[in-house]
Structure formats: C-alpha cells, structure tokens
A and B are shown apart, each in its own frame.
Chain A
Amino acid sequence: MDSDMEISLDRLPIKRLESIEENGAERFPSDVNYDDKRVSLIRRIDFAWALEEEDELKKKKQKKSSKESSEQWQWKGMVENLQLAHQELSVIIDLINTVEANDAVTVAGMTKPKPMPNELLSDLAVSTATKLQSYRHLGKYFKQSAKALEQKVNREARFYGALIRLQRNWKVKRQRVLASNASNEGFTIDLSDSSLYDPTSGFRPSTLSTIRVEHDSAGMLAINLPQDSWYSLRFGFVGLNSIDNPNESAEHIDSTTGQDTTSEKLSVSDEESVKETHSLLREVHKSIFAEQLFDMLNREAFSEGVGFSISGIRENFLEMSIGQGASLFVSLYPSGKNASIKKSESAIVPMESSGGIELVEGDSRVKKLGFPSRASYDIYLQQIFHEHVFGKAKDQTKSKSSQASNQTAKDNNSGLLDHFCLSLAHRIFSTRVVVQLESVVCKVPYLHLISHPTWNSRTSSWTVCMTVPPSIIPQGSSETQSLDGKRNLKTQFRTKVVVKDDCISVEAECTPNVVGLLKSSSCNLFSMNKYECDLADLPVIILQQVTSQIVCWLLEEARTVGTKASRDFLSLSLEIVEGERVSLVAQVNPEDAKGCISWWLVMENGCTEERKGVSESRKLLGHLSLDVLYSVLMDLINLCGSGRNPLDRL
C-alpha cells in the first residue's frame, strides 16, 4: 500500500446529452447493457504490458528456432502468394464464367500480354516443325501416287497393247459405260459381218457375235466364254466309224484355247495370252460361220431336192439319204474341252482308242463302200456356201437400187444342198467305177488307166490306154490308103470313160458290133462311138472295147499286106486257101485272174460249116502279149501266103 492508489471515477449515471440537433432534438446516448458495461470496463483495463510480454516471449522463441524455420517461412510466403494468386484466379474465372453465362455483360476488349522472347521462339519452332512434318507428308504422298500411277500405267499399257494387237484383225467397238465400276471400259469385239446381213436373206447375227472384253485378275485383257458356247460342224456318214477325224486337230487346238487355271496363267507371257485370245476369237468366228451354214442347210432341207431326202431332224442335227446307199448327217456340236463326251450318237469311235489294225480294216471298208473322205467334203461344203454368200453380198452391193421382190423367192433356194448331195453321190459312184476299171486294168498288162481332172464336182473322166507295138511293115505302094489320104498308123488306142452324176458313157473307136460289119472298108473301123453302160457291165464292156481295138489293129495290119481279112465281133479271120479260114478269136472274162483276154486259134473249113464241131479245130493260145500276138499274126499271114496247114506248125 505504498504505491499510489489509483482512483478511477465513473461518470454519474446521469444521462448526459450527447448532441443537440438544429431542430432542438436532443440525443441521448443509448443505454448500455450490463454486459456491455463490463466489456467496456474490461476494455479500459490496459493489458498492454501483458501483450508486450507475450511478444517478448515470441521473439525469444523465434530467435531460438530462426534457422530451422526460415524455409518454412519462405514456403509459407510462396504458399501464401500462391493462395492469393489462386484466389485472384478463381475470382477471374468466376468473372469469366459470369460473363459467359450472362448475356448482358460482354467483354469490351482484351489486350494480349506482350509475349516474351522465349515464347516467340517456341512458337516459331512449333510452326517450323509442323511445316516440316507436312512437307514430309506431302513428299510421301507424291512418291506413293507416283508409284501407283506407274503401276496403273503399266497395267493399262498391257491391256491396251493387247487390245491394239487384236484390233489389227478384229473389229473392236466401244460403248461408254455409265456405271461407275471402272473394271469394264465397255470394249466389245464384234464378229459379225454387216455386209452379209440383209433382211431378205434372213440371216440373223448369232448371239456369239459380240464378245465382251474383260480384265482378268492381273489386269490383262481376257475374254471369258463358257466352254461349250461355240460350235463346229461335224459331218459324216451314218453307220461308218470315223476313220479320219478332221476335227481331231481342231480339238487339239481347242484344248489349248480353253480357260486355263489361274496358276498356269501367271506363267503365260503377254504375247502368248494375246495369241490364245486370238485363237479363241478365230474359233468363235468359225463357229459363227458354221452356224450360218447349218442354218442354210436347214432351210434348204425343206425345199424339194433331187439329190437328197431328209430322214431325220434333231436339234443341231440333220440326216439325209443321198442315194447310192449312203446316208449323210450334218450336225453342230459344241467344241471345247469336254466335246468328246457330247459327240453325236452316230457311232463315232474316237481315234485315240483305235489301233493300227483297225485303221487298215476301216480303210478297206471305206474303199468297198466307196465313201469319200469326210474332210474333203466338209471343206467343199464350206467352200460352196462361202462363195455363195460372198457372191450374193457382192451382187447386193452392186444392185442395191433394184430391189426386186421376186428375187427373194429364188434366193431362198439356192440349190446348194441339192448340188452338194449330188456331188457326194457322184463321188461315191465314181469311186466304184474306178474300182471296176482298176480291176480290169490291173489284170491286163498292156492297158493303162489315166484319170483326168474335170474341175466339175459332178463329172469324172478316165481313159484306158493301150499302146500297140509299132508296125514292122514298111510303107509300101501297094497298101490301101484310107479315104482321107492318111495312113492309119495307130500306136495308141484310147477308150474314154466319162461319168456324169451316175451315168457312165464310153467313147472309143473300133466299137464291137454284134452284127458283123458288112462293109470291110477301113473308114468305118476307126470311127468314134459313144454309148452308155451300167456299172455292173463296165468291166466286160471295157474288155470288149479293148479287144475290138486289138482286132481292128490286127485287121489293119493284115490288110496293109494284102491279106484278105475280115472282122467279126471279137475275131479276126484270115483266108488261107479257098474255103479255109483261120481265125483268131478272143475270149474276155473279167473275172480271170491271170489276164482277162485269152486268144483261141480256130481253123474252119468253109464247106463243112454245118458240121462245125468236127471240122473246126480250136487251140487255146492263152493270154498273149501284144508282141506275141503280132508275131502270131505275121506267121498266119505267111501261112496265108504258103497255104499250108497252120495248125501243123504250132
């Protein structure tokens, strides 16, 4: 209690006037609550000294741990800075969001902060890198498209190269295809010949005549045709095994033009594939021609024809009998790899299975029947049809102005089938004629057979030649001259055999007459005579003709010497003495294997004609060659001179 006492004086609890306003209103301070009083009292107390103590304590603590917590302080500063920045950013973001959401508030303007140099550099680097990247990209794109274009160019070069090569031989047409698929550019190959088609003749272009050109898997030109869609003409005789198969070689070609498997195609070079395509087109072209031919045959088959009669019609098959015991068939059959399975049913034996022996047998059978080679007649049929069609086309182009309607009736029947069948029949017949002629000529050694080309399919001609030995009688003044002043020196006798369709006619001189020649002058002897005969009689007729020529020749020879000789059919008589005659008589026998003409020497006594059997002596001389015969004649002539019995000498 030594310190001074401090006394505080409260104000009297009198309400004191706080302020007076102008209008005289008085303001009194508001009443203070009891708590407020206490708080204000507490406030009066000065606690500064306590605070100072606290600060001192804190400072001491800080000094102790200043080093340890210096960083904490710095981080704390950074943390506080970041927090402040975060707060500011969030404010800005909120502001932006509000601006965005709020249409009423818009951004008036923005100023970009000035970029710093390293930002500039990094922007530049980025843009440069992007540009380089895009250059690289572009470079790769160019190179890729260059490669693709090169491939496309090469592929198209192959395709168009092949197309150009085909265009040299075939008509290539193009239709612009509107469809978007680029695989088919609309090329077609047109195999029809428009110059041949006119509405009157009724030729219709076949379905095969337009062929699409396509690409194969490698982009090369290819033509896809089903195997059996093209045909070829088959021709043959019913009942005859095919010996020569002309279509074999065609089938061989067909097998190589068929569609190969894809593995084989890779090894085929461009040139070969073009060749294959070309061969295929050839086959189809031929097939179109064959179809036209068959069409024409069908149409003509219904018209009246002399040379044929239809005996059967099926699809793509026509059978007719042409006379001479032959029956012909013409058919269209699909040619391709499996054509052998689908051959027509006329007993055709494939050639591969027949051995060599069968060939010989068949050959002789063909010879017996006289059927000509199928190939030759196949070709002939095609040729006459082609000439007919071509000639008609030519005529049409010439006479297009004169459209005579009455021509069509004639044109419909051009008689081709008729002509063809007659030719075929003629050929069969003439083969038989040749067989007969050969059988005669082979047996007689001094006969030769010559055949002549007639350039007419329905006419054939041959000559049987006989060369006689030359005369040993010199030309003298005493010989008889023929009426025309020339000496009949014959060294060769000819017998001409002409066959027209199926008529045989023989033309020769010194024709044998059954009735003996009344006049023995030589002018009648060597006249040409023409007569007809049958096939069965032909050998005998020929032999008789030849023998008669020999007799005439001998007669002429005898007459040149002056001997009294006469001729009667096939015998030559010489008068030796009065009433006695010696004759050389010929006997012809076509079946004789050693020689068909044999000679007899007959001695006759004229006064004993009634008793021929007794006073006629015969001696068979046999088959004599012409030289021997001539010498016999000379001997007889000598005998005539001397008058002795000729038979004693022999």
Chain B
Amino acid sequence: MDPQTQNTSLQRLQNVERRVVRVLDIAGGVMDELASPSGPKKEFINSHCREFMQSMKDIQVTLREEIKSVCEYRPFEKCDYNARIANEICLQKLEYVLTQLDDLKKTADRYPSSG
C-alpha cells in the first residue's frame, strides 16, 4: 500500500484492520496448503509465510507509531450550539425573504412591462 495515500491516522488504522484480516487469510491458506493430499508446495508456503511475517511487522510498526502519536483526550472546550441556533434563525429569515421576493416577482409579473 502506498504510504502517501494514507494521510490520516484513521485511514492508517483502517488499513491495519484490513491487514489483520489478510494475515488471517494467509494463515488459512498455508494450513490448507499443508493439508493438501498431494503434499505442500514449498514456494507457495515460503512466499505466504514471508508475506505473513512482513504484514505482522508492518502492523506492529504502524500501531506503535499511532500509539505514540495519540493525543490526550480533551473534553469539549468550545461548544458551537449557540452559533448553530443563530444559523437556524438565519435560515428561517432567508426562507422568509425568499417567499417575499417570490411574491414581489409574482406581483411584478402581473403587470406587463410597459414599453
């Protein structure tokens, strides 16, 4: 995975989750290969195990970085609910003004433009 595409820690953590799933899948594949009746294919097992170990390492590295960079939890410092209510009031004002303008337009349309 291209590291530049994950610019938020959230995306990185999501990627870690996906990797864990992939790691489990690899383990399952290896087990199946070992259990195959014709005997396991060596390169297959090798490549899969390599991928497994690499993924585990990546997961560990990413998690360590994220844990180091986690900021401490701050309670809500500023609340913008007041501004939100003010916005709602402004929205109502706008709607009202729009209806007024529509009425004006209707009135103006009633009188044909005199040449």
Contact = CB atoms under 8 A, between A and B. Distances in A.
A386 interface: yes
A191 B93 CA distance: 23
Interface string B11-38: 0001001101110110111111111010
Most A CB contacts (10 A, CB to CB) among B22, B28, B32 go to: B28
Interface string B41-78: 00000000000000000000000000000000000100
B82 A193 contact: yes
Contact of B31 (A139, A191, A289, A393): A139
A246 interface: yes
Contacts of A244: 99
B88 A379 contact: no
A390 B86 CA distance: 10
Contacts of A286: 85, 88
B1 interface: no
B34 A135 contact: yes
B35 A390 contact: no
Given A375-B96, A379-B96, A146 B35 contact: no
A282 B20 CA distance: 38
B30 A139 contact: yes
A139 B45 CA distance: 13
Contacts of B14: 157
Given A135-B31, A135-B35, A146 B92 contact: no
A386 B25 contact: no
Contacts of B33: 139
A38 to B, nearest CB: 84
Interface string A261-283: 00000000000000000000010
Contact of B81 (A135, A145, A157, A191): A191
B15 to A, nearest CB: 11
Contacts of B93: 379
Given A132-B35, A379-B96, A383-B89, A142 B27 contact: yes
A215 interface: no
A153 B32 contact: no
A194 B86 contact: no
Contacts of B29: 139, 143
A425 B30 CA distance: 84
A172 B88 CA distance: 21
Nearest to B32: A139
Nearest to A283: B88
A133 B35 contact: yes
B96 A142 contact: no
Interface in A150-183: 150, 153, 157, 164, 169, 171
Contacts of A140: 28, 32
Contacts of A142: 24-25, 27-28, 31
B110 interface: no
B85 A285 contact: yes
Contact of A376 (B35, B79, B81, B96): B96
A149 B21 CA distance: 6
Contacts of B89: 379, 382-383, 386
A141 interface: yes
B84 interface: yes
Contact of B79 (A149, A150, A157, A195): A195
A136 interface: yes
Interface residues of A, number: 42
A278 to B, nearest CB: 12
A209 B47 CA distance: 56
B31 A378 contact: no
B85 A289 contact: yes
Contact of A164 (B10, B17, B32, B92): B10
Most A CB contacts (10 A, CB to CB) among B22, B34, B84, B85 go to: B85
Contact of A138 (B31, B79, B86): B31
Contacts of B85: 285-286, 289, 386
B10 A285 contact: no
A426 B19 CA distance: 70
A362 B60 CA distance: 73
Given A146-B21, A153-B18, A378-B92, A139 B84 contact: no
B92 A246 contact: yes
Contacts of B82: 193, 195-196, 386, 390, 393
B96 A246 contact: yes
Contacts of B27: 139, 142
Contacts of A246: 92, 95-96
A143 B25 contact: yes
Nearest to B21: A150
Nearest to B93: A379
Nearest to B88: A286
Interface string A338-363: 00000000000000000000000000
A143 B26 CA distance: 8
Given A136-B32, A375-B96, A285 B21 contact: no
A472 B30 CA distance: 112
Contacts of A401: none
A373 B92 CA distance: 13
A249 interface: yes
Most B CB contacts (10 A, CB to CB) among A139, A140, A191 go to: A139
B79 A194 contact: yes
Interface of B: 10, 14, 17-18, 20-22, 24-25, 27-35, 37, 76, 79, 81-82, 84-86, 88-89, 92-93, 95-96, 99
Given A157-B17, A171-B76, A379-B92, 15 more contacts: A139-B28, A139-B30, A139-B33, A139-B35, A142-B27, A142-B31, A143-B32, A144-B28, A146-B28, A153-B17, A169-B84, A195-B82, A196-B82, A285-B88, A373-B96
29 contacts: A133-B35, A135-B32, A136-B32, A138-B31, A139-B30, A139-B31, A140-B32, A142-B28, A143-B28, A143-B29, A144-B28, A145-B24, A146-B21, A146-B22, A146-B28, A193-B82, A246-B92, A285-B81, A285-B85, A286-B88, A375-B96, A376-B96, A378-B92, A379-B89, A386-B82, A386-B85, A386-B89, A390-B82, A393-B82
